[in-house]
Amino acid sequence: MNVEIKNLSVDIDENIILKDISFSVAEHQSCIIVGSHAYYNGLLLNVLGGFYHPANGTIFIAGKDIYSKKEDEIVDLRKKISFVFQEGAFLSNLTVLENLLLPVKFYAKKFVKTKVMKEIKDYCEYFDVPPVLEKRPAFISYTSKKILSLIRALITHPEIIIINKPLFNLDIRNQIKVINLLKDVKKQGMTFIISSNSYDVIKSIADQVVHIEKGSIQKIMYAKNKDFLQEIKQLDILSDLVGVEDEV
């Protein structure tokens, strides 16, 4: 599924925050949104996720303008998109496992628990997640929340995955695991839209990088261009695994 954003403007309390944003992400491609202020990028992802109505402009996902339709009319579209929040986001009155199963149960015509549980087990082993599935979200670490929210997104097998800061709250070991996992998942043909200032994420999976500053697009860079990595390196806002944390 491709994503097309046209002349998008977003305001909060009548102050324009995002101005005239236009870019598109082709099917099976990865778009990384970078910028020195995470606030703008996070807001853009929230608008892409359908949580915040733009003041102007359109967002077409698989040819459907998500803000011109009622919520009931885009449920089928939602099933093909997964969103990973910056700090995880879990329903506090459900256990971690119930949270993980919530979208799968909601989407499945016939829910086969054993199959899903195997996937969850495999991912948990890969990340070495402690046994927290039966606990309430309030009792697990931020690292586990972030990893489990990524697992929740992946087990629905979406066509598009939107991730707000994939390395946030993670130690270096888990950052490397996440990057490797994203690389593998990308090979399966998933479309990514990611907000991250990590050079490693960009180097590993980016097909294009959208640089946003003060609410406007400064530059769009494409991996197919020869001097892509050099262009990226010129951005002084990026960090890598051996530096300080990815997202500030």
81 or 221: CB nearest other proteins? 81
User: Please, are residues 7 and 20 in contact by the beta-carbon 8 Å criterion?
Assistant: yes
Q: How far is the CB of 169 from other proteins (least distance, A)?
A: 14
Q: How far is the CB of 85 from other proteins (least distance, A)?
A: 5
d(CA 20, CA 30): 21
Q: How far is the CB of 103 from other proteins (least distance, A)?
A: 4
Q: How far is the CB of 148 from other proteins (least distance, A)?
A: 12
d(CA 241, CA 223): 20
Question: Which SS3 state, helix, strand or coil, does residue 26 take?
Answer: coil
Q: How far is the CB of 113 from other proteins (least distance, A)?
A: 15
61 or 221: CB nearest other proteins? 61
25 or 202: CB nearest other proteins? 25
Neighbours of 51 (CB within 10 A): 10
d(CA 6, CA 221): 18
d(CA 17, CA 99): 32
**Interface residues toward other proteins, by CB under 8 A:** 46, 49-51, 71-72, 74-75, 78-79, 81-83, 85, 87, 89-93, 102-103, 105-107
33 or 217: CB nearest other proteins? 33
77 or 238: CB nearest other proteins? 77
Q: Quick one: which of 233, 222, 230 has its CA closest to 30?
A: 222
